[in-house]
Amino acid sequence: MMAEIGKHLDLNSKLRLRLALVKHRQGDVVEMLKEPLKVLYVSPSRTSLRNFKQICQCEYFQQYIVEVVFLPSVIDVAGERPV
């Protein structure tokens, strides 16, 4: 049933669903997230680098991220400046 629901959700909604579920049910969303979470984009900002570090330490993401793309400019997040 979760797979059918996932067909109708965008990536942001799928991520929110994973966070909203209790830990033992989060695995139900894993199949929905495998495909869109293959590429990780990193920009030279403190927030992006901090998120990158946290993602690299997470077993869940270690299984599915297959490519890391470094963006040479900062993705504008609340006026953040390059490091």
CA dihedral 4, 9, 14, 17 (to 10 degrees): -80
Segment 52-69, tens digit of pLDDT:
888 888 777 788 888 899
Q: Which pTM value belongs to this model?
A: 0.54
Segment 5-60, tens digit of pLDDT:
777 878 778 777 777 766 666 666 666 666 667 888 888 888 888 888 888 887 77
Residue 64 CB partners (closer than 8 Å, separation 6+): 33, 34, 37, 38
Radius of gyration of the chain (CA): 14
